[in-house]
Amino acid sequence: MQEAFININDIPTKVVTFGRWITEKPEKGEKVILIIPGNPGITGFYKEFMKYLYDKHKCPVWAISYAGHEQPTCASVEIPMYKEVGLQEQIQHKVSFIEKYIPENSNLHVIGHSIGSYITLQLLKRTSIEKRIIQAYLLFPTIEHMKKTPNGKFMYRYIRPIVSIVIFLAFIFTILPKVISLGLLKTYMKLTDTPSKDTDVIFSLIRPDILKQVFFLAFEELDQVCDRDDENIRKNLKRICILYGETDGWCNHEFYENIKQDHPDISVEMSNYQHAFIFKENEEVANHIGLWMK
C-alpha cells in the first residue's frame, strides 16, 4: 500500500493505492479499480475494502479523497486557502484526477459509495471519462431525492440548524490534550460499537476545517440530488451494477423497487449490508462486487 497527497485543481488530495502508484508506468489495457468514497470523503475508511479487492483481482486499486476532506500535516506541504468545495466542484475534481492519471486505454472500473455513486454517474456523462469506464458499481447509491429519505429529513431538520455548534465543539475537541480527546473518542466508539481500527481516521475527521467541508457538501447533496438521471442510466445500462441495503436510511426501499421497474434489464440487487459497510462488511461487499466484475 502507498499513500500520499497530490495536487488536484490546487487542492491537496489524498490518494491511496494497492498495486502500482499513480505515476508508475501502466501496462497497456490495464484494469484499474477506482474508489470514489461517500461523504466524508476520507480514504482511510476504505483501506480494508481496497485490500480485499486487491487480493482478489490483482490489479491496481486506488482511492481518492474528496477535495478538502483530508489535509496534510507535514509542514513541508503548502496548504492553500480555499473556500468550501461543493458537489459540482467535487465532480470536476474527480474528472481532473482521471484525466491526468488514468490512461485512455485503461479498463477502468469505478466503485462509487453513497454520494460517490452520484459522482460516478456524472463521470459517465463526461466524454473524456466515460470511454475509459468499463463498469460502474454503485454501492448504497444516493442518486435521487436525498432530502426525502429518513436520514435526509433528519439532517435537514435537526442537524442543519446546529452545524455551527457542532463545529465549535470540534474546535474544543482539538484543543483538549490528546489523551483526553482520544479517550473521549474511544469511549464513544465503544458505546456505538464502532471498530477500533477506524479510531485514527475518525480522530482526523473531528476538525473544524474538515467538518465545514463535510457539512457544506452534505447540504449541497440534499439540495441538488433530486430526480434520478434515467436518461444517463438507460444509456449506460450494461455498464452499471447497483447494490442497495435493506435498512439504508439514505436510500428508500421504494427507490430499489422503482429502478427495477423502470429499468428491468439493469443489474440491481438488494442486500442486508449496512450503508456504512466500511466498518464491518468490507470482505462481504468486496466479494459481492467480484461476482459482477468482468
Q: Find, among 122, 45, 59, the residue nearest to 88 by Cα.
A: 122
Q: Given the residues 106, 114, 117, 271, select the one marked as catalytic.
A: 114
Q: Which three cell numbers stand for residue 184?
A: 473521549
Distance between CA atoms of residues 51 and 1, nearest Å: 9
Please give the order of strands across the beta sheet that includes 31-36.
Answer: 2-8, 11-18, 61-64, 31-36, 107-113, 133-139, 240-245, 267-271
Contact between 185 and 198 under an 8 Å Cβ cutoff? The reply is: no
Q: Find, among 273, 202, 262, the residue nearest to 40 by Cα.
A: 202
Q: Is 248 a catalytic residue?
A: yes
Q: Is 275 a catalytic residue?
A: yes
Q: Given the residues 69, 93, 275, 288, select the one marked as catalytic.
A: 275
Q: Find, among 275, 251, 236, the residue nearest to 145 by Cα.
A: 251
Q: Is 267 a catalytic residue?
A: no
Task: Centre a 10 Å sphere on the Cβ of residue 263 and count the other Cβ atoms it contains.
Answer: 17
Angle formed by the axes of helices 87-101 and 115-123, nearest 10°: 60
Question: Longest C-alpha distance within the chain, in Å?
Answer: 56
Q: What is the DSSP letter of 112?
A: E
Q: Which three cell numbers stand for residue 11?
A: 487542492
Contact between 170 and 147 under an 8 Å Cβ cutoff? The reply is: no
Q: Given the residues 65, 229, 248, 271, select the one marked as catalytic.
A: 248
Distance between CA atoms of residues 117 and 212, nearest Å: 22
Q: Which are the catalytic amino acids? A: 114, 248, 275
